[in-house]
Amino acid sequence: MNDIAVIGTSYVGLTTGVAFADMGNRVVCVDVDEGKIARLKAGKLPIHEPGLHEVVMRSVSAGRLSFSTSYEEGLKRAEFVFIAVGTPDDGTGGADLSQVRAAAQSVAEHMHRPIVVVNKSTVPIGTGDVVTRIINEHRRTSVEFSVVSNPEFLREGSALLDCLQPDRVVLGGPREAAERVAQLYRPLGCPVIITDIRTAEMIKYASNAFLATRISFINEIAAVCERLDADVKEVARGMGLDQRIGPHFLNAGLGFGGSCFPKDVRALMRMATDAGQHPQLLQAVMDINADRRRWVVERLRERLGDLAGKKIALLGVAFKPDTDDVRDAPALTIIRLLRDAGAHVTSYDPEAGEQARRDMPDIDLQPDPYTAVTGADAVVLVTEWKEFRFLDLDRLRRAMSGTTFIDGRNVYDPAEMRSAGFDYLGVARGAGADDSMAGEEIYLDTAVTRSDPV
Ligand code: UGA
């Protein structure tokens, strides 16, 4: 059992702390937000994340997990301290490091024993050196410490699972310290890469930028498919079966949102520019992504004409399913664009209503999908929540005043939607798209194998 302190109790911090506690360590999660810590102590989590609540409760009652606003308490026994605080956009495309700096200083002021400081926050390349300098400046005693970079790759909506079953663990820093951190991850039995600190920091940005690039790539292919009448869903499937390509992150739709991809691509572009390198591919990735939001408005105009006075209902506001997060959510941009065009927009989301109202106080949120679409000229599916797959289509269509249905995530079978009476439009599904035979893989007689000469 190791003693661990985790600074920050949002997605990364809370999930990391809970995961280490579940692996048998003693963990104190520290946050300067008193309200958040009080709520956590009362068993109320600040985020909606499947499975997390149960494991928090289990670890707290086993005495392996506790919460505190005090660095003194958090660092009393800690051999490892994980910094997992926010690094939001600083307004110029760069990452705002003020929370990381403040955490590093507080750690320095409360260190009593040799400690490994592990940075989990997504930070610009070179931040490891900044953290080292801050701790050197502020530590009271000559307590030894090392700084290790350990970027996190968990996704919202599957945070705990991703944390407990990672594809890899990346560690950057002095070998001995990195190896000690590697031991913490041993129970997970996954590959561990040990490298230098700047490379580890870059692996995080490069990974997120690559995934964002895949999404913008398939969205660009979708835009071409749309003009040439091909089905992008089948194109992605056909591509994904090539093992060099793989099937993930090839869902065409309304583009990426959330607190990570947009911010991290922008921050990487900023780092590249500052270093004298023009980030031309990354610029295209962001431009294509912005176009996806406009695509909805263009398609609605084609169908409904002038949008002034029209009623449009959005299904889904969260940036993706299984989260209540609305940061950089396509829905909020689409609502703004539609309102600018004079439309009235209603919306429904199973979890994200409260968060959405914080960002957009006058958002018209309805308690269920059927109320949201009542009297609507058109419906747009923005977030592919599972419950939207099981809607009573007949009831939905009857509640609307029009028949236009834009499926921004290609959730529905076009043929089924058309026979239910909708003027249905998916993302580049092609005129003949019919999911009843979609993705059919026919396995031919194996008389001819790959190794046989053709
Ligand atoms: C992303 C990465 O996937 C994580 O590995 C990383 O740790 C995290 O950012 C982070 O840096 O903290 P997350 O933002 O939670 O995770 O969500 P994703 O599941 O990656 O989805 C991001 C966005 O891409 C969503 O808006 C989603 O709708 C969109 N997306 C995803 C697509 O439009 N198409 C796809 O095929 C996949």
Three-state secondary structure string covering 288-300:
HHHHHHHHHHHHH
Distance (Å) from CA 122 to ligand 1 centroid: 14
What is the rounded distance in angstroms from the CA atom of residue 290 to the CA atom of residue 297? 12
Distance (Å) from CA 155 to ligand 1 centroid: 6
Q: Tell me, what's the pLDDT at 140?
A: 78
CB distance 384 to ligand 1 below 6 Å:
no
Distance (Å) from CA 387 to ligand 1 centroid: 20
Residue 157 CA: which ligand 1 atom is closest? 15
Distance (Å) from CA 176 to ligand 1 centroid: 33
Helix or strand run (H / E) with residue 131:
helix 127-138
> Which residues, including other chains, have CB under 8 Å from residue 120's CB and lie 6 or more apart?
12, 13, 16, 82, 83, 84, 150, 151, 152
What is the rounded distance in angstroms from the CA atom of residue 7 to the CA atom of residue 82? 6
> Which residues, including other chains, have CB under 8 Å from residue 224's CB and lie 6 or more apart?
230
From the candidates 29, 163, 225, 260, which is the catalytic residue?
260
CB distance 56 to ligand 1 below 6 Å:
no
Residue 151 CA: which ligand 1 atom is closest? 7
**Contact, 118 vs 152, CB < 8 A?**
no
Tell me the pTM.
Answer: 0.93
CB distance 348 to ligand 1 below 6 Å:
no
Distance (Å) from CA 256 to ligand 1 centroid: 7
Supply the residue whose CA is at minimum distance from atom 11 of ligand 1: 260
Residue 258 CA: which ligand 1 atom is closest? 14
> Which residues, including other chains, have CB under 8 Å from residue 259's CB and lie 6 or more apart?
11, 88, 156, 325, 327, 328
| DSSP reduced 3-state for 266 | helix
In order, the DSSP letters of 334-402 are: HHHHHHHTT-EEEEE-SS-HHHHHHH-TT-EE-SSHHHHHTT-SEEEE-S--GGGGG--HHHHHHHSSS
Q: Tell me, what's the pLDDT at 380?
A: 98
CB distance 204 to ligand 1 below 6 Å:
no
CB distance 253 to ligand 1 below 6 Å:
yes
What is the rounded distance in angstroms from the CA atom of residue 171 to the CA atom of residue 194? 5
Supply the residue whose CA is at minimum distance from atom 3 of ligand 1: 155
CB distance 256 to ligand 1 below 6 Å:
yes
Q: Tell me, what's the pLDDT at 93?
A: 84
Q: Does the active-site annotation cover 190?
A: no
Residue 248 CA: which ligand 1 atom is closest? 36
Supply the residue whose CA is at minimum distance from atom 2 of ligand 1: 155
Per-residue confidence of the chain (454 residues) as pLDDT tens digits?
A: 999 999 999 989 999 999 999 999 999 999 999 999 999 999 999 888 889 999 999 999 999 999 999 999 999 999 999 999 999 989 888 889 999 999 999 999 999 899 999 999 999 999 999 999 999 999 977 789 999 999 999 998 899 999 999 999 999 999 999 999 999 999 999 999 999 999 999 999 999 999 999 999 999 999 999 999 999 999 999 999 999 999 999 999 999 999 899 999 999 999 999 999 999 999 999 999 999 999 999 999 999 999 999 999 999 999 999 889 999 999 999 999 999 999 999 999 999 999 999 999 999 999 999 999 999 999 999 999 999 999 999 999 999 999 999 999 999 999 999 999 999 999 999 876 767 666 566 666 555 444 444 4
Supply the residue whose CA is at minimum distance from atom 6 of ligand 1: 153
Instruction: Give the residue, out of 14, 165, 208, with the most ligand 1 atoms within 8 A of its beta carbon, to mutate for a pocket test.
Output: 208
**Contact, 21 vs 27, CB < 8 A?**
yes
**Contact, 281 vs 213, CB < 8 A?**
yes
Chain segment 68-127, per-residue pLDDT in tens:
999 999 999 999 999 999 999 898 888 899 999 999 999 999 998 999 999 999 999 999
What is the rounded distance in angstroms from the CA atom of residue 445 to the CA atom of residue 46? 54
Chain segment 321-348, per-residue pLDDT in tens:
988 999 999 999 999 999 999 999 999 9
